[in-house]
Amino acid sequence: MERNIYIFNILFFCPRCYFALRPQKNNEFAFFDKDKGYLIIYKFKSNEKVFKPISPGFTPHLMIVTSYNERVVKYQLTCSIKDCGIEINRSYDPELPFSIDLKDIDDYTKEVEVWRNFLNRAFF
């Protein structure tokens, strides 16, 4: 198994958010910025295409690929909405204004082909 870790933003169903009628405008969520290499906090807005709330329960998730080989991919998945799958700890330090705790991570193992199909449908 390789040791590199990859993070993807995907849209996925979250039962807790479904019952809480999330996402809604102004809900905060963590988004992994590939170019910068770290997590950013976004808020849902009603007038933006990508981050517009789509339908209840379909929320941004973080997929963290922890290991893979040519047969299987092992990854963790968490809803990235604040107060659901993540907590945001804010500080007064301008260099590090917040940190993010992942609260509710599930572990998965999928065959590479199944995982690719899954990504193709859910990527955003």
By CB under 5 A, name the binding residues for Zn ion.
14, 16-17, 59, 79, 81, 84
Q: Which helix (H) or strand (E) holds 32?
A: strand 28-33
Which of 123, 77, 122 minimizes the C-alpha distance to 104?
Answer: 77
In angstroms, give the least distance from the CB of 4 to Zn ion: 27
Q: Looking at beta carbons only, is 16 or 74 nearer to Zn ion?
A: 16
Q: Looking at beta carbons only, is 22 or 115 nearer to Zn ion?
A: 22
Q: Looking at beta carbons only, is 61 or 68 nearer to Zn ion?
A: 61
Beta-bridged to residue 29, according to DSSP, are: 42, 81
In angstroms, give the least distance from the CB of 50 to Zn ion: 18
In angstroms, give the least distance from the CB of 39 to Zn ion: 16
Which of 68, 61, 63, 52 minimizes the C-alpha distance to 16?
Answer: 61
Q: Within 10 Å of residue 61's Cβ, how many Cβ atoms?
A: 23
Q: Looking at beta carbons only, is 16 or 110 nearer to Zn ion?
A: 16
In angstroms, give the least distance from the CB of 62 to Zn ion: 11
Question: Within 13 Å and on the Cβ side, how many CA atoms surround 47?
Answer: 0
Q: Is the peptide bond before 23 cis (omega within 30 degrees of 0)?
A: yes
